[in-house]
Amino acid sequence: MFDYFINLLESGGGEITIDLNTTQKSIRRLYQGMINFLYEKNKRYGDTALNPSNDLSNAEPVTKLLVRAEDKLSRIRIAAKIGIMRKNDYVDLMGYLSFIMIAKGWTDFADQID
């Protein structure tokens, strides 16, 4: 079903017209925004998240992404101690986690629904 939504977004099919509650609409907006963000970053900076240049490290892409995510979590933790929340840290963390799931082939989550 997610592929249907991605295809709809990519084809410019417009707004998805499903009767959603407020939270569901927010979830949709969040993930549409993340899709746009990740596509644009990939276009601007290349496919380095999953296909790194390995100029400085030959570590596997998932390992590199885990290190980036760990660094972001550390920044979030330190900022939280002084009462700061930076949107950039959370967006980057979501991006890193998304790329880890893509690399692991975790793109269908039907089996995770209880």
Summarised one tens digit per residue, pLDDT across range 4-30 is: 556 656 665 555 566 889 999 999 999
Residue 23 belongs to some domain of the structure: yes
Residue 39 belongs to some domain of the structure: yes
Residue 63 belongs to some domain of the structure: yes
The whole-model pTM stands at 0.79
Contacts of 97 (CB under 8 A, 6+ apart): 69
Do 93 and 65 belong together in one domain? yes
Q: How many Cα atoms within 13 Å fall on the side-chain side of residue 101?
A: 10
Q: What is the pLDDT of residue 20?
A: 86
Residue 114 belongs to some domain of the structure: no
Number of structural domains (the chain) is 2
Q: What is the pLDDT of residue 28?
A: 94
Do 86 and 70 belong together in one domain? yes
The C-alpha atoms of residue 81 and residue 89 are separated, in whole angstroms, by 15
Do 57 and 18 belong together in one domain? no
Do 88 and 64 belong together in one domain? yes
Q: What is the pLDDT of residue 9?
A: 60
Q: What is the pLDDT of residue 19?
A: 81
Instruction: Print the domain residue range for 28.
Output: 1-46
The C-alpha atoms of residue 77 and residue 90 are separated, in whole angstroms, by 11
Q: Is the dihedral of CA 92, 95, 97, 99 positive or negative?
A: negative
Residue 113 belongs to some domain of the structure: no
What H or E segment, with its residue span, contains residue 74? Answer: helix 61-81
Instruction: Give the residue ranges of the chain where pLDDT is below 50.
Output: 1
